[in-house]
């Protein structure tokens, strides 16, 4: 038994900070956070440096919570998987987020330890028995998503057939046009969802239906179509519904990708919900991740080698830039050169190689940077608050990262998400 060990990696970025410390901040004398450029000049980082903008995260959350509340009077559940870094979670809390979409025992523990008063919703449709038992009995989780009769049986057995459950049926959607399609793994077909809604109505005081239109969904009408399907399922089931969860998928800007304004998504959801004729007490939920945190973190990397229009950098697809690999995401980029004057070199497109020995550690981009970029320069890449830090691996030993809080605005704004960053 001595060979069995457990390891938690819910917040992998903490490993890059000296044990027992908090993320580096600005001057102790002023209490102000530095800019990214000041942090680079001070630390001269030779490992990837994640730059958290707490004010941006808080303001973005406040804008989103107000918009969703104004549209449907609903609750915003932050999808913790998107970025579980405690500094980010604290900023979200400061921005008014009180509900959290958790999907694992590690996420349940983390959020409950940080925010004892938070409302946790276990939104993973397939859970282990021990995970269900601990979530209910130890951490006060009452809401559980399911998409099968087998999962319903597990939940009831492991909660001792509790009388205070919220049971939400995940509905499968047809394949859509989101950047990340999520239609294949979870969700009950319409006929099965009807049967599940009837079943949960007999055993739980709170029931609902949920769906997910896919990540980085650029079409507001997708939410209306999904709500129309949910409405047909609810009508056929003939039961009273307490919760409708429209899921996540709310998009953000990337280079050459500008989504419709946030208000367009809220208006589409409001129109769809209005057609459902829900009971007066019913709540509408959503599960944003990317939309709340993408702009709130950037990544600083250093150029280790240049070969024409290819730059070898110290982070890659096995680290924080997974989305830049096979998915082909492009991120806003800027050169940071704190110890010499910037030139007026024209912009050029570059691809990246990461630090590992794997040739698949490549990011095609193109990432637009000054044509005279050279070895030793630093590059800041924006929009990496979403799935940047949490997808890092220890492959090839390149798992160290620095974490720092900064005062900058986002590198790229998303329509309707514009924030007014206060003095940090």
pLDDT higher than 70, residue 5: no
pTM over the 0.85 mark = yes
Backbone angles phi, psi at 248, to 5 degrees: -110, -145
Peptide bond into 256 cis (omega under 30): no
Residue-wise pLDDT tens digits, 50-92: 999 999 999 999 999 999 999 999 999 999 999 999 999 999 9
Which candidate, 193, 154, 157, places its Cα nearest to that of 172?
Answer: 193
pLDDT higher than 60, residue 225: yes
Least confident stretch, 9-23, 95-109, 177-191: 9-23
pLDDT computed for residue 23 by the predictor: 53
pLDDT computed for residue 341 by the predictor: 82
pLDDT higher than 90, residue 417: no
Q: Which residue intervals of 261-308 are DSSP H helices?
A: 262-274, 290-293
pLDDT higher than 70, residue 389: yes
pLDDT computed for residue 31 by the predictor: 61
pLDDT computed for residue 7 by the predictor: 42
Instruction: Quote the mean pLDDT of the chain.
Output: 90
pLDDT higher than 50, residue 121: yes
pLDDT higher than 80, residue 30: no
Distance CA 332, CA 303 (A): 16
In this structure, the number of other CB atoms found within 10 A of the CB of residue 66 comes to 13
The model's confidence at residue 14, banded by pLDDT at 50, 70 and 90, is: very low
pLDDT computed for residue 201 by the predictor: 97
Distance CA 296, CA 385 (A): 5
Sequence-ordered list of residues with C-beta below 8 angstroms from that of 36, at least 6 positions apart, any chain: 51, 298, 300, 336, 380, 406, 408
Distance CA 23, CA 86 (A): 10
> What letter would DSSP give residue 322?
G
Distance CA 334, CA 352 (A): 14
pLDDT higher than 80, residue 166: yes
pLDDT computed for residue 277 by the predictor: 86
The model's confidence at residue 256, banded by pLDDT at 50, 70 and 90, is: confident
The model's confidence at residue 418, banded by pLDDT at 50, 70 and 90, is: low
As beta bridge partners, residue 121 has: 101, 143
pLDDT higher than 70, residue 422: no
pLDDT computed for residue 326 by the predictor: 86
Give the position of tokens 């005062």. 407
pLDDT higher than 70, residue 420: no
Do the Cβ atoms of 406 and 36 come closer than 8 Å?
A: yes
Q: Calculate mean pLDDT across residues 259-267.
A: 95
Residue 75, CA distances (Å) to 6, 172, 399 in order: 35, 22, 36
- Tell me what percent of the residues of the chain surpass a pLDDT of 90: 79
pLDDT computed for residue 24 by the predictor: 52
pLDDT computed for residue 227 by the predictor: 97
Residue-wise pLDDT tens digits, 306-359: 999 999 999 999 999 999 988 888 999 999 999 888 888 999 999 999 999 999
Q: For the chain, which domains are there?
A: 12-53+295-405 (2.40.37.10), 55-293 (3.20.20.10)
Residue 105 tokens, joined: 């025992």
Residue-wise pLDDT tens digits, 396-413: 999 889 999 999 999 888
Which candidate, 250, 294, 257, places its Cα nearest to that of 411?
Answer: 294
């Amino acid at each position: 038994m001595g060979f069995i060990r457990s390891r938690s990696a819910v917040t992998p970025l903490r490993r890059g900070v000296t044990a027992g410390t908090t993320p580096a901040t600005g001057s102790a004398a002023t209490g102000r956070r530095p800019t990214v450029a000041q942090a680079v000049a001070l630390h001269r980082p030779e490992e990837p440096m994640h730059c958290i903008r707490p004010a941006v995260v808080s303001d973005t959350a406040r804008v989103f919570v107000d918009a969703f509340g104004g549209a449907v009077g609903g609750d915003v559940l932050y999808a913790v998987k998107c970025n579980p870094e405690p500094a980010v979670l604290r900023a979200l809390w400061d921005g008014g987020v009180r509900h959290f979409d958790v999907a694992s025992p590690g996420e349940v523990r983390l959020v409950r330890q940080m925010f004892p008063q938070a409302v946790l919703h276990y939104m993973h449709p397939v859970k282990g028995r021990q995970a269900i038992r601990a979530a209910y009995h130890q951490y006060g989780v009452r809401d559980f998503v399911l998409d099968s009769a087998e999962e319903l049986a597990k939940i009831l057995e492991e909660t001792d057939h509790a009388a205070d459950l919220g049971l939400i049926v995940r509905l499968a959607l047809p394949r859509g046009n989101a950047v990340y399609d999520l239609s294949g793994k979870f969700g009950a077909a319409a006929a099965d969802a009807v049967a599940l809604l009837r079943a949960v109505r007999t055993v739980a005081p709170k029931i609902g239906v949920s769906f997910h239109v896919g990540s980085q969904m650029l079409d507001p009408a997708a939410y209306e179509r999904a709500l129309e399907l949910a409405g047909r399922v609810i009508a056929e089931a003939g039961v009273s519904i307490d919760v409708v969860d429209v899921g996540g998928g709310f998009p953000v800007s990337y280079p050459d990708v500008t989504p419709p304004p946030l208000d367009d998504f809220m208006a589409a959801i409001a129109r769809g919900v209005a057609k459902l004729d829900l009971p007066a007490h019913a709540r509408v939920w959503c599960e944003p991740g990317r939309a709340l945190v993408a702009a709130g973190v950037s990544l600083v990397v250093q150029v280790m080698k240049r070969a024409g229009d290819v730059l070898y950098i110290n982070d890659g697809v096995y680290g924080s830039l997974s989305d830049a690999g096979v998915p082909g995401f492009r991120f806003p980029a800027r050169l940071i050169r704190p110890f010499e004057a910037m030139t007026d070199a024209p912009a050029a497109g570059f691809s990246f190689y990461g630090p590992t020995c794997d040739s698949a550690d490549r990011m095609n981009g193109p990432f637009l940077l000054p044509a005279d970029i050279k070895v030793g320069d630093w590059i800041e890449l924006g929009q990496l608050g979403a799935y940047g830090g949490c997808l890092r691996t220890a492959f090839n030993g390149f798992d160290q990262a620095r974490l720092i809080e900064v005062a900058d605005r986002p590198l790229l704004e998303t329509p309707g998400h514009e924030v007014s960053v206060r003095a940090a």
